[in-house]
Structure 1
Amino acid sequence: MKRYFINHPVFRMVAPVVYGVLIYLLVLLINNAVAQVEAIFNSQEVYIFIALTALTFESCRLIILMMRKYEQEHPVRFILPLQIVTSACISVGLVMLCLTLYFAYVVGFSMSNTQTILFVAIFTVTALLYNVLYLSHYYLQKENTLKLQSEMQQREILEMEMTEFQQDINPDLLYGSLENLIGIMYRDIDKAEDYIDSLASAYRYVLTNRHQEIVPLAAETEAAKNLIRILNEKYFGQLKFEYTLEGASDDARLIPGSLPIVLESIIRNSIITRFEPFIINCYLEDDYLVVQSKLNDRLIAYTGSKVAFARLQKSYSLYSDRPLIQVKAYQDSYIKIPVLKVEEAIATNV
């Protein structure tokens, strides 16, 4: 309620003065006493109207404050009519009580029926206008709040999409590859050209399939082989990727980038030396693509692995009930990627 204009000190001081003067002018006009306008600020009645207006506004404001406390407990369609009726009745009742006392003890006679009806009508309309002003600000603020929430959601979506795009681009791989490329260029220009082709193919695959939901299994294995060629420059050529896709059906699919992400995670989290080949086996088993490697974990895990696996797990949960599995048994590490079928993916989307 602090943000509503009816609680602002300037409004509470200025509005009764302006509105009180307007009411006084209206009463003069109705009573055909416009000639008294020349002495408007020397007239006692104008200050009485200002005081009555302030009383109306403050009583309505207090009723609104009280009603807002019950807004969470009761529906708005019940609170608003009750607020309008209650504030109008209480404010008009207080004003008429003050006018009755004023006429009885200051003027010296009671109000006529015409005056009573006139004052009741004027201050009832005043209470209603006050509620209308509040409700207009209330719904405007509510609409602005919804718009701000929508903007925040859009911002979160954009940030998430930007994060996903950065992860798709894989800056760690890009910068590492560029550093390796600098070293290759000093040794062998032809090899540097081949390395650039492999790097370009890797990122072309990522960008081409960014908006694809699923891709053939063969395309993923080719992307994985290309990744191994890129990383082998850093790991002394000791990375060996061996795969067997016997029994794979033509409709076998994976989410784009699944296999390269898994391979990169395995490589970055393993200790690889120049003295021993690091062999990664890939084969099909029970509708899973199994990626097997020797268990030789680093002391500090690569921070991007958890994020990558969380993304993959969330993505595969949209297409299959079978989860992405990561198992460490004896001296080997196994990561099992669910193989999707075209029929299964279509059924899930439908």
Structure 2
Amino acid sequence: MKRYFIHNPFFRLLTPLVYGVMAYLLVLLINNNVSQLNDFFSSQEVYVFIVLMYLSLESMRIVIILLDKFLPERYLPIRVPVQFIITTLLSVALVFLGLHLYFKYGVGFSMSGVQTLIFLILFTVTALLYNILYFSNHYLQKENTLKLSIEKQQQEVLEAEMVEFKNDVNPELLYESLESLITLMYRDVEQAEEYIDCLASAYRYVLSNRHKELVPVATELEAAKNLVKLLNEKHFGQLRLESSLEDAELDAMLIPGSLPIIIESLVRNTIISRFEPMIIRCYWEDDYITIQSKLNDRLLQHPNTELAMNRLQRSYSLYSDLTLIKVKAYEENYIKLPVIRVAEEITTY
């Protein structure tokens, strides 16, 4: 059974009490002669109204429970009029049965035509309001369930993309590194061995962190420096990574692969030559790690850059309200990466 408000114990207990008193006062106002009605009504009339209201609301609740079993969600267009008719007829019938017994055995005479009409309208409107509240709650719950389902699907997609991002082994970097390694082996064997160690460290980092959600900035920075060493062989040693991050800032967290992805993206989209070196600066600014380099873009952007940056942005949206920022200004290229602070949970015994 779905947890609609009509099944809430507090609602079932308090609503007949409050609504019964209000209905009793409404009857007094309709008759427009409180002094004459006081001669007719006694204090027990209030309790009679409360009991009748409880009988009315509970009978409608039972009908709704039964209709949930025999006319489920797929029959909703039929369910709405059927539920209103059945709940109204049953509620009014039980109320009039109770009134008949009360007037016959409690008061000693039957109801007048005006009283009958007043009670008929009152409890028909009550049934209408009860059904309106129920279906409003039903559609609201249905809409909320749909929204939660959509959000869950979106989160699953983002998580899948983040896993894909973290597990992505860069084939282009691998092929370029192997080509550089072949060239280096003919020139200097010892340097070639160091290059192999550097290449192994780069892919070891990817594999060792593929199941981690977050890693320290210090770890990412080491991976970025290792990547620069690999790329420097192709770019004649014209790449340099400078970091001004302090020890306390290195304890912040990033998604694995963030800095290497950004640095590789900058390198692949910047013109670099023996006469145009590239200096990449990494520093802390507010709640961001800013990666800055001189603006000297290639004519054609690398095809995988936009995809990689979009995946990176979506991955960070799971952990932070801050967005990844890309700015080109004053002949400088800025990429601001939001850092993630992990709150430590302290347990007291």
TM-score interval, normalised by the smaller of the two chains: 0.5 to 0.7
> 1 or 2 for the larger relative contact order (CA 8 Å, sep ≥6)?
2
Aligned to 2:277: 277
Aligned to 2:54: none
Aligned to 1:236: 236
Q: Does 1:256 align with 2:256?
A: yes
Q: Distance in 2 between matches of 1:241 and 1:161?
A: 28
Q: Distance in 1 between matches of 2:284 and 2:163?
A: 31
Deviation, 1:178, is 0.6
Q: Does 1:317 align with 2:317?
A: yes
Q: Does 1:173 align with 2:177?
A: no
Deviation, 1:164, is 2.3
Q: Distance in 2 between matches of 1:332 and 1:191?
A: 33
Give the match's secondary structure for 2:229.
helix
The answer to whether the Cα contact below 8 Å between 1:253 and 1:342 also exists between their aligned partners in 2 is: yes
State the identity %. Answer: 62
Q: Distance in 2 between matches of 1:178 and 1:252?
A: 34
Q: Distance in 1 between matches of 2:185 and 2:77?
A: 76
Deviation, 1:167, is 6.8
Going from structure 1 to structure 2, the CA distance change for 1:325 and 1:162 (only over 3 Å counts) comes to closer
Q: Does 1:207 align with 2:189?
A: no
The answer to whether the Cα contact below 8 Å between 2:294 and 2:331 also exists between their aligned partners in 1 is: yes
Going from structure 1 to structure 2, the CA distance change for 1:250 and 1:238 (only over 3 Å counts) comes to closer
Q: Distance in 1 between matches of 2:263 and 2:312?
A: 13
The answer to whether the Cα contact below 8 Å between 1:238 and 1:278 also exists between their aligned partners in 2 is: yes
Deviation, 1:251, is 3.8
Going from structure 1 to structure 2, the CA distance change for 1:333 and 1:191 (only over 3 Å counts) comes to same
Q: Distance in 2 between matches of 1:166 and 1:254?
A: 12
Deviation, 1:187, is 0.8
Provide the TM-score with structure 1 as the length reference: 0.52
Aligned to 1:300: 300
For 1:270, the aligned partner's letter is T
Provide the TM-score with structure 2 as the length reference: 0.52
Q: Distance in 1 between matches of 2:167 and 2:174?
A: 11
For 2:274, the aligned partner's letter is R
Give the match's secondary structure for 1:303.
coil
Q: Distance in 1 between matches of 2:197 and 2:185?
A: 14
Deviation, 1:77, is 4.6
Deviation by residue 1:167-222 (Cα, 9 ceiling, x = unmatched): 72000100111111111111111111100000000000011001111101100000
Going from structure 1 to structure 2, the CA distance change for 1:78 and 1:212 (only over 3 Å counts) comes to closer
For 2:229, the aligned partner's letter is R
Give the match's secondary structure for 1:334.
strand
For 1:252, the aligned partner's letter is A
Going from structure 1 to structure 2, the CA distance change for 1:161 and 1:308 (only over 3 Å counts) comes to closer
Aligned to 2:195: 195
Q: Does 1:223 align with 2:223?
A: yes
Q: Distance in 2 between matches of 1:268 and 1:211?
A: 27
Deviation, 1:245, is 0.7
Q: Which runs of 5+ in 2 are unaligned?
A: 1-71, 79-152
How many pairs are equivalent?
197
Deviation, 1:250, is 5.9
For 1:255, the aligned partner's letter is I
Going from structure 1 to structure 2, the CA distance change for 1:271 and 1:321 (only over 3 Å counts) comes to same
Deviation, 1:162, is 11
For 2:294, the aligned partner's letter is K
Deviation by residue 1:112-169 (Cα, 9 ceiling, x = unmatched): xxxxxxxxxxxxxxxxxxxxxxxxxxxxxxxxxxxxxxxxx9xx98xx6799269720
The answer to whether the Cα contact below 8 Å between 1:248 and 1:284 also exists between their aligned partners in 2 is: no
For 2:270, the aligned partner's letter is S
Going from structure 1 to structure 2, the CA distance change for 1:245 and 1:171 (only over 3 Å counts) comes to same
Q: Distance in 2 between matches of 1:224 and 1:243?
A: 11
Deviation by residue 1:54-78 (Cα, 9 ceiling, x = unmatched): xxxxxxxxxxxxxxxxxxxx96457
The answer to whether the Cα contact below 8 Å between 1:282 and 1:290 also exists between their aligned partners in 2 is: yes
Give the match's secondary structure for 2:304.
helix
Deviation, 1:276, is 3.0
Give the match's secondary structure for 2:281.
strand
Aligned to 1:288: 288
Q: Distance in 2 between matches of 1:278 and 1:176?
A: 19
Give the match's secondary structure for 1:232.
helix
Q: Which runs of 5+ in 1 are unaligned?
A: 1-73, 81-152
Going from structure 1 to structure 2, the CA distance change for 1:165 and 1:310 (only over 3 Å counts) comes to closer
Deviation, 1:246, is 2.1
The answer to whether the Cα contact below 8 Å between 1:325 and 1:335 also exists between their aligned partners in 2 is: yes
CA RMSD of aligned residues (A): 2.7
Give the match's secondary structure for 1:289.
strand
The answer to whether the Cα contact below 8 Å between 1:251 and 1:342 also exists between their aligned partners in 2 is: no
Q: Distance in 2 between matches of 1:291 and 1:199?
A: 23
